[in-house]
Amino acid sequence: MAFQGLRGMLTLDQLREEVQNGRIDTVLLSFTDLYGRQFGKRLDAEYFLEGAADHGTHACDYLLTVDMEMEPVPGYRAASWERGYGDFHMQPDMATLRKADWLEKTAMVICDLRDVHTHDYVPHAPRSILRRQIERAKAMGYDAMAGSEIEYYIFRESYREAARAGYAGLEPAGWYLEDYHIVQGTREEPLNGAVRRHLANSGVPVECSKGEWGLGQHELNVRYADILAMADRHVVFKQCFKEVADKQNVSVTFMAKFDAGRAGSSCHVHCSLWKDGKSLMAGPHLLGPIHASDVFGWFLAGWIRHVPELMVFYAPTVNSYKRYQSGSWAPTRLAWSHDNRTASFRVVGEGPSLRIECRIPGADCNPYLAFAAVLASGLDGIEKKWEPPPIFEGDMYAARDLPTVPATLAEAVERFEKSPFVREALGAEVAEHYAHFYRVEQQAYDRAVTDWERRRYFEQI
């Protein structure tokens, strides 16, 4: 059937018709944990239509307090053994109802998490955090539009084979650097092409895919959208990619730095503010070669200034910080420039398309948290009417007088914890929840004995 609006998006009536005709029999309800992984339940489609579309379902509240291995972590106020690990409510956001084209007879819907007693949004849920910043923007008269450009590496081994090998010695899908390279891209088209088509048929309109600066590394971009819709598209994108790769017996990683000798994988984030369908970014003021508005300059200034405090939302793992190396295409210093890929903030476009690109986030970021950090920072700049620093021209890697991004997760967590702005923007309890989460992640690494240590010290020490 021809779906209304974006191809693959469904109304409840359209879903009902699909179910009656036997084309859909399962509805996947999902949300992301703090890492950005999707969790949820598969419901029988008829059961969903009989009431779950309205009242949703429940899930255990420990899912926002577990570590990567799904172990319950002590020290959280929101959920613990002492509190009994109860439930929260998964409330479907019916605006996200879509076909999951890569899955057999399946629709999916993204859920907001709500308290089972008060029905308020669970404050520390990633989508709730972004919603809070969107509400703040709307109260100030702004709509936010955003895009995220995600990079990834493809390997010829399946996920099961990669795990059995300890993720060592994997064979990349390509064997020479393939940035914009068509022949190498053609070799990887069985996966990239399948994902592009599945996404387009699942309400995630695609712009393009291209080779990147690594062996088997690619980037796939979906279209600019309302900031909440963009975050939703981002998580659908990653889920689709992993599951299609799994079906093809290959694997894909969104690690920020898979190999010390290869380019990292970024998630370049674009953002602009709009009102009544018109961009507010262009204006009469000359910032370098750019004709920009006051709103543009203030938003840019706030975004840059608050990066160190909110770095954990852009770079959430120990591995994230391995990406920030000079000459690596990843930024190391905080400044803005015009169409300059050495810059942490690259201003692109003109007129209605004028927007800010932040090149700091890695492909491992949780998009709800990254976009929340963008809005919280930029809106603070507008409220305080901060002026942006002067435009930088040249090689930003060589600019020793510019401030640097935090060098490690430990440093970033310390800045996050000590920031009054973070507590004000997120709320004290949410800030405490995430500080604990990132501290636990750092501690897990600190206790680990790595292959690097064994190679370096086994005989020589």
User: What pLDDT score was predicted for residue 328?
Assistant: 81
| pLDDT tens figures, 329-368 | 888 899 999 888 888 899 998 889 999 999 999 999 999 9
Q: Does domain 12-122 have CATH number 3.40.50.300?
A: no
**What is the CA 145 to chain-centroid distance, rounded?**
15
Separation of alpha carbons 240 and 28, rounded Å: 13
Domains 12-122 and 137-455 share a fold: no
The answer to whether 409 and 54 have CB atoms below 8 angstroms apart is no
What does the pLDDT read at residue 339? 82
For 50, 82, 427, 451, the CA distances from 32, given in Å and listed in that order, are 25, 24, 20, 31
Domain ranges of the chain: 12-122, 137-455
CATH superfamily of the 137-455 domain: Glutamine synthetase/guanido kinase, catalytic domain (3.30.590.10)
The low-confidence residues of the chain, meaning pLDDT below 70, are 1-4
pTM score, two decimals? Answer: 0.95
- Cα 305 to Cα 222: distance, rounded to the nearest angstrom: 28
Q: What local confidence, expressed as pLDDT, does residue 105 receive?
A: 98
- 201 to 6, 29, 50, 236, 292: CA distances (angstroms): 8, 18, 26, 12, 37
The pairing of beta strand 206-211 with beta strand 278-279: unpaired
